[in-house]
Amino acid sequence: MSFILIRHGQSVSNQKNLFTGWYDAPLTSLGKEQAIEAGKILKEHHVHLDTVHTSLLTRTIQTTYLILETIDKLYLPVHKTWRLNGRHYGALEGMNKDQARKIYGEDQVKQWRRSYRAVPPLADTHSLCQRYPFLPPEVIPRGESLEQTRRRMEPYIEEVIQPELLQGRDVLVVAHGNVLRAFTMILENLSEEEVFKVEIQNAQPIVYDFHSDLSVAKKIIWTRSSY
């Protein structure tokens, strides 16, 4: 079984250097090219996929379908869930990161972005409640630490993804940088200090192979020249 993690391609908010968690932003032209390139990498490695999971945000959905089109697997069902949405940056959502540093200071912004427990200033949930009417208002975050993001993801991992892997399926998750940092922390048993340093590049496949008990047997980051 293989477990493939891919961050979405460059989004408009990435291009503008904005905090982007649950804020919805489409891919740029470069982001679409990156997604297609990720698909080409999977195709070169003759990847067989059984199931695909992504968030409810445009940038991951676009990336997912561009990858599937490139590998001739558009027929695969794509499971979308709010539990794989990006980490909610609270009142920082949509704010330029350089502007945030001027307002709050470099060290504080770095803690909000990289640490495991720091929670950004909280946001009003009104607009998100309108976008997610199928969710109870109390479960919609107003801002999250990486720890809270991980807790939000865990029910989906335990109830949906883990059973698929235990059945020997090859699973693709297309998600967001902090969500994939949380996956990395779980899979590699990283400490809070270690996850602080984890960087996830846009549209670069990260592949885990497992033993039968789902302990990691091998990890590789694929590029066009890594096969």
* Residue spans per domain, the chain: 2-221
- Name the residues annotated as catalytic: 8
Distance between CA atoms of 25 and 87, rounded to whole angstroms?
14
- Identify the CA nearest to 35 among candidates 5, 3, 63: 63
Under the banding of pLDDT at 50, 70 and 90, the label for residue 61 is very high
Cβ partners under 8 Å of residue 16, min gap 6: 96
Sign of CA dihedral 38, 43, 48, 51: positive
Whether residue 221 is predicted with pLDDT greater than 70 in this model: the reply is: yes
pLDDT of res. 126? 66
Return the DSSP state at 202: B
Average the pLDDT over 132-144 and give the result: 92
User: Per the structure block, which two tokens stand in for 167?
Assistant: 């059945």
Whether residue 226 is predicted with pLDDT greater than 50 in this model: the reply is: no
Average the pLDDT over 146-172 and give the result: 97
| Strands of the sheet with 78-80, listed across from one edge | 78-80, 51-54, 171-175, 2-7, 206-210, 216-221
| pTM across the whole model | 0.96
pLDDT of res. 227? 38
Share of the chain above pLDDT 70, in %: 97
Give the CB-side neighbour count of residue 117, counting CA atoms within 13 A: 3
Domain 2-221 has CATH 3.40.50.1240: yes
Residue bearing tokens 């697997």: 73
Distance between CA atoms of 50 and 78, rounded to whole angstroms?
10
Under the banding of pLDDT at 50, 70 and 90, the label for residue 48 is very high
Distance between CA atoms of 161 and 151, rounded to whole angstroms?
15
Under the banding of pLDDT at 50, 70 and 90, the label for residue 18 is very high
Q: Do 23 and 221 form a contact (C-beta atoms < 8 A)?
A: no
pLDDT of res. 117? 98
pLDDT of res. 143? 96
* Binding site residue list for substrate: 7-14, 20-21, 59, 97, 113-114, 177-178
